[in-house]
Structure 1
Amino acid sequence: MSEGKDYQEFLKHAKENTSRLQKQTKAVGADYFKMHTDAMKDGALSQKEKELMALSIAISTRCEGCIVSHLAEAKASGASVQEVVETVNIAIMMSGGPAIVYGGIALEAAEQYYGADLK
């Protein structure tokens, strides 16, 4: 298990900040979060597949909060740790060096969420 940052605590804090932001931005925040909720529902693609896609994009765009959030939701949607690893591989293929750094963050967080040893 990772000995670095506590990603579950990080996500809890990020969600608190997001809640504060949503209250202050009123309709803009509410509209964004409705779009997010609607986009992530099962459709032609399952929520799990969408969360893994979002995780790959989060790695590629270097958004640590997004990485942790979509990792947690991917796990909750039934994604295996191996599916997460393969998602990281796709981010690396598409984004190169920066995805290696942020993919490492995703795997470190996955160790905590899945209780896996990915070393």
Structure 2
Amino acid sequence: MKGFSELHKASISEGALSTKTKELIALGIAITIRCEGCIACHVHDSLEAGANTEEIKETIGVAILMGGGPSVVYGCEAMEALNQFGIFEQNEAVH
């Protein structure tokens, strides 16, 4: 686990792509491969990296495009994670 943790940290760090962009990519992959724990983790980490609700929603849309029907179910899981972190309601009130 220590090695995986170090790999994760190195992979997500700032580089040619921002940490936010990398987290959004990871979220899209998590939805497409249907990993519930990964979805929650990467919604959270995307928000921590500065992603907003609209960026996460667009990521969900692209993941559904690439993953087909089954990804719709897991896209909904990502929306639920967004709701549980309390960001969705706060941002919707602003818009």
Q: What is the TM-score of this pair, normalised by structure 2?
A: 0.90
Question: 1:80 maps to what in 2?
Answer: 52
Query: Moved runs in structure 1, 4+ residues, more than 3 A?
Result: none
Q: Any gaps of 5 or more consecutive residues in structure 1?
A: 1-28
Q: Any gaps of 5 or more consecutive residues in structure 2?
A: none
Question: 1:92 maps to what in 2?
Answer: 64
Taking the aligned partners of 2:88 and 2:23, their CA distance within structure 1 comes to 19
Question: 2:11 maps to what in 1?
Answer: 39
Identity of aligned residues (%): 43
Query: Which residue of the other structure, out of 82, 86, 91, is the alignment partner of 1:110?
Result: 82
Taking the aligned partners of 1:70 and 1:108, their CA distance within structure 2 comes to 13
Worse-superposed segment, 108-117 or 41-50: 108-117
Q: Which has the higher contact order (CA 8 A, sep 6+)?
A: 1
2:4 alignment partner AA: Y
Deviation (angstroms), 1:115:
4.2
RMSD (Å) for aligned C-alpha atoms: 1.3
Q: What is the TM-score of this pair, normalised by structure 1?
A: 0.72
